[in-house]
Structure 1
C-alpha cells in the first residue's frame, strides 16, 4: 500500500483528501503545517507528497526547499489557489512536481496521484512525468 502525506493548513481540505484517497486504497497521513509535515516525512517515508504552497510558517515552498537541501527526492503534487506557482521553484526537479489549481476535482487528483506512483508500480524510482 502506498503512503501519501498531505500537508495543508485548511483542515477541511485535509479531511476530504484523507477520506477520498483512503477509500481509493492509499495510506494517508496529514499535517496542518510544513513543520509537522517534515516530521512525518522523516518518520513515515511516504511515497508521495501533496501540499499547499501558502501556509503559515515556512509554507510549502520552505518544505520543498528543506527536502531539496536534505536531498530527499519525493514526487510532489502542489495544490494552490494561484495559477502560477512554479516561478520560485527552480530548485525543485520539474519531473518530480505536478501543480493542481484549487478547487481540485477529486478524480483529477486521483489520476495525478496514480501518474506519480506509476513508476513505483513498474519498479522504477518514479514516473518521469511526475
Structure 2
C-alpha cells in the first residue's frame, strides 16, 4: 500500500483532499491573522486587569505580572512554594469553571469533559497541598 491508497487499495477521493487542503488553508489564514494582530505585543507584558476593570473576574485565577516576576527571582524551596501556591490558586479557578459547566451545560460530552476536569484538578490540588505541607507552607 502506498501513501496515496487506502486500506482497500483505492485512491482517496479528490474531494477529501480538497476539504483537507481548504481546512489547512483556513488554519493558516487564522494563524497569520492572529500573528499580524498581535505582532506589536512581542516584547510587552500581558496586561492584568485591575480589581475594578470589566475583565477582573476572568483572570482572578491567573498569576499577576508582579507574582510572575517574583517567581523569576526565587530559587529552590522558595520558588517551589510560590509556584505551588500560584498553581493551586489557578486550579481553583479551573475547578469553578468546570463545575459550572458540569452542572449547567446541556451537551453530555461537555458535561463529562467538565466533570473530568473537576476531578483531575481537585486531585492535583490535593497533591500540591501535600507538597506545600512538606515544605512547611500551605495554599494561600
Same fold, TM exceeding 0.5? no
For the pair shown, the structure with the greater C-alpha radius of gyration is 2
Please, what TM-score do these two structures have when normalized by structure 2?
0.25
Which protein is richer in helix relative to its size? 2
Please, what TM-score do these two structures have when normalized by structure 1?
0.27
